[in-house]
């Protein structure tokens, strides 16, 4: 192989925003639905930053019929005067990376945007983008587009320069953009994701009105779907929403504090449940992996509650100390930290890394909690928390003893695996995979069609246990749960050791229907609650079985959703012969060869790696659906249940199979 020449002519210079389009993953992480939503969040964040800094009180988000999205706020409006670079400031913001007002703390004390890349990246990855600015009684407008020039795309160019197009008494900014189908896997926004995100923003910015309108299916007879969020009590309303339907809800604890330029807001409320719901944020960015602010909170809370217990003689042994984990059961809390120059670990901004924040949050929480519990009217709240923590601690100690006995008997690692589980013969854990499969029928096909050397199969008898609704000691008595734990080999709880994991991938394989979705969600909730390390280490995946098989004159293709089916059918029109379309009702309908080709074969299957955010979402859905009487449950069912859903497959292609 020739080394070849390497000269100056080999160096490619990407001008403007072309490098964003060439390497979108560097800026938005991925080009799937998460990446698509990322460019929407970047624009929404600009409005949220205006609101968080006291300049705006309304943000309107609209999905338009042509596939574009519009975000409007009533803030100050992006500057339109000339920048020293020789172009209007708004043009610079939308065409240049690292250009924005958020580097100047005089403009934004707290900002979700970190690097000044948001607006320009959205522009670069859109077919077109238009900005309207309402300032000085005038309406300014500037238009951008991404044309194809000589086979190559030019990204985020000015199509129509900044000009005055009208008069107005309004103020603020309106951005409309159409994501580029050449960049993203799909340009179809998910209304549910957007609704949840906007509700969250409204909770974090009390008093700010946020509306969401979906006009994509609007007709002459029916208007688009419009939702409005506004919460006058902010984080208090957020915790109330999270505890909707929970039993044994205790008094709300809420306080705000500021120190060293850092503002802390915290709402806490315990209930009689067995799990913790802790939502942490930095400048409105959800930190699903926690970070130094969460560490500061936990340290302060544990210390303050131990001090309270000792001063009120609630601990029998004066030397006894309750651990941080003892306070987690039944804790619902939302922690918001607002600060300058947050440093996040990882591209997804999932974990705060600023070391100084730990002591700042610790100090503020300690001061405010101590003041709260110093008041006699709050004694019952403190007593409730300590009583619950003592119960948890006693169960923890009892569980340790039970685990020792269990290990001695070897029941979880031995007899629990007798039955349906089919292990693999290979001993190389770096390539071995465990498929958790829905149903005996699909399990049988998977066992026959798998690679026996590297693929183990565990069929589930029915729907997995909902770990949110039973006591922990009952969880480990469940046969399905015990079998999963035994197959993985990691142990559980304080005995968990990820280095003992027997597989490189744990793949959840369920039918592509509502029951399959429910099973998948229950399993994700189980892993998130009891074995989160597996998710953090990227070991948990979801297999994607096809919904349809299309066959024509010996040519076979599979489709994973209705949209892909339409594409496959269109491609097959060029093949002679009669077309046969089969809709799979479940994995059990596939023979071993079909199951291998579509869902087991590493070369042809489709897998999705589960993140902590994915698992948290699944956990939240299960909590919502299983909490009878909760308003959020009624809202979810009303919004998403398809009571009169039309069978598009039957209408288009005839029949049901």
Catalytic residues: 438, 511, 513, 515
Residue 132 and residue 141 in contact, taking contact as beta carbons nearer than 8 Å: yes
Residue 147 and residue 54 in contact, taking contact as beta carbons nearer than 8 Å: no
Say how far apart CA 296 and CA 368 lie, in whole Å: 13
Residue 528 and residue 614 in contact, taking contact as beta carbons nearer than 8 Å: no
For 247, counting Cβ atoms within 10 Å of its Cβ (0-12 exposed, 13-18 middle, 19+ buried), the class is exposed
Q: Which residue has the tokens 């479940």?
A: 586
Say how far apart CA 270 and CA 247 lie, in whole Å: 10
Say how far apart CA 200 and CA 471 lie, in whole Å: 29
CB atoms within 10 A of CB 213: 18
Q: Please tell me the number of Cα atoms within 13 Å of 270 on its side-chain side.
A: 18
Residue 586 and residue 573 in contact, taking contact as beta carbons nearer than 8 Å: no
Going 194 to 199 to 201 to 207, the CA torsion angle's sign is: positive
Say how far apart CA 136 and CA 133 lie, in whole Å: 10
- Classify 482 as helix, strand or coil: helix
Best CA proximity match to 87, nearest among 98, 102, 76, 99: 99
Strand partners, 345: 351
**Each residue of 59-68: b (16+ CB within 10 Å) or e?**
bbbbbbeeeb
Ordered DSSP codes for 210-262: EEEEE-TT--SSSPPEEEEE--TTTHHHHHHHHTTT-SS----EEEEEEETTE
Best CA proximity match to 412, nearest among 397, 424, 402, 427: 402
């Amino acid at each position: 192989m020739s080394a070849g020449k390497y000269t100056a002519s080999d160096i490619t210079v990407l001008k403007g925003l072309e490098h964003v389009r060439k390497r979108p993953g560097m800026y938005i992480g991925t080009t799937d639905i998460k990446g698509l939503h990322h460019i929407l969040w970047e624009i929404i964040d600009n409005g949220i930053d205006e609101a968080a800094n006291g300049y705006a009180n309304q943000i309107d988000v609209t999905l338009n019929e042509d596939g574009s999205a519009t975000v409007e706020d009533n803030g100050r409006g992006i500057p339109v005067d000339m920048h020293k670079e020789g172009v209007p400031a708004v043009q610079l913001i939308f065409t240049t990376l690292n250009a924005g007002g958020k580097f100047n703390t005089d403009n934004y004390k707290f900002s979700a945007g970190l690097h000044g890349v948001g607006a320009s990246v959205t522009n670069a990855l859109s077919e077109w983008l238009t900005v309207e600015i309402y300032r000085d009684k005038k309406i300014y407008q500037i238009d951008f587009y991404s044309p194809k020039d000589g086979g190559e795309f030019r990204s985020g160019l000015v199509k129509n320069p900044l000009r005055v197009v009208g008069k107005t008494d309004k103020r603020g900014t309106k951005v409309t953009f159409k994501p580029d189908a050449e960049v993203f896997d799909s340009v179809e926004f998910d209304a549910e994701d957007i609704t949840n995100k906007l509700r969250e923003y409204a909770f974090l910015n009390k008093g700010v009105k946020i509306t969401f309108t979906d006009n994509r299916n609007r007709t002459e007879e029916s208007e688009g779907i419009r939702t409005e969020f506004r919460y006058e009590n902010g984080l208090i309303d957020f915790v109330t929403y999270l505890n909707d339907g929970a039993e044994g809800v205790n008094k709300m604890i809420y306080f705000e504090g500021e120190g060293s330029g850092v503002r802390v807001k915290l709402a806490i409320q315990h209930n009689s449940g067995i799990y913790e719901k802790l939502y942490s944020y930095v400048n409105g960015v959800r930190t699903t992996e926690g970070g130094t602010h969460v560490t500061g909170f936990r340290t302060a809370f544990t210390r303050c509650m131990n001090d309270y217990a000792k001063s009120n003689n609630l601990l029998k042994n004066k030397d006894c100390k309750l651990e941080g984990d003892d306070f987690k059961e039944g804790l619902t809390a939302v922690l918001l930290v607002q600060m300058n120059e947050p440093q996040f670990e990882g591209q997804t901004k999932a974990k705060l890394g600023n070391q100084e924040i730990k002591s700042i949050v610790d100090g503020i929480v300690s001061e405010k909690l101590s003041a709260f519990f110093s008041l006699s009217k709050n004694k019952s709240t403190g007593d409730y928390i300590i009583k619950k923590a003592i119960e948890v601690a006693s169960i923890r100690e009892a569980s340790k003893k039970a685990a020792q006995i269990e290990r001695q008997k070897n029941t979880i690692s031995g007899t629990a695996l007798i039955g349906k589980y089919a292990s693999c013969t290979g001993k190389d854990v770096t390539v071995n995979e465990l498929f958790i499969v829905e149903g005996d029928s699909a399990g049988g096909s998977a066992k026959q069609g798998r690679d026996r050397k590297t693929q183990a199969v565990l069929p589930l008898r029915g729907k997995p246990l909902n770990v949110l609704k039973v006591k922990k000691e009952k969880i480990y008595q469940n046969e399905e749960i015990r079998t999963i734990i035994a197959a993985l080999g990691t142990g559980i709880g304080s005995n968990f050791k990820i280095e003992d994991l027997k597989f490189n991938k744990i793949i959840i394989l369920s039918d592509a229907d509502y029951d399959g979705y429910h099973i998948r969600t229950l399993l994700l909730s189980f892993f998130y609650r009891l074995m989160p390390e597996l998710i953090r280490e990227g070991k948990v995946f979801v297999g994607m079985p096809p919904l349809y098989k299309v066959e024509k004159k010996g040519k076979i293709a599979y489709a994973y959703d209705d949209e892909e089916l339409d594409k496959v059918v269109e491609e097959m029109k060029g093949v002679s012969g009669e077309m046969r379309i089969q809709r799979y009702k479940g994995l059990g309908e596939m023979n071993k060869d079909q199951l291998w080709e579509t869902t087991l074969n590493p070369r042809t299957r489709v897998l999705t790696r589960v993140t902590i955010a994915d698992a948290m979402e699944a956990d939240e859905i299960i909590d919502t659906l299983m909490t009878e009487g909760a308003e959020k449950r009624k809202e979810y069912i009303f919004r998403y249940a398809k009571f009169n859903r039309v069978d598009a497959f039957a209408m288009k292609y005839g029949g049901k199979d």
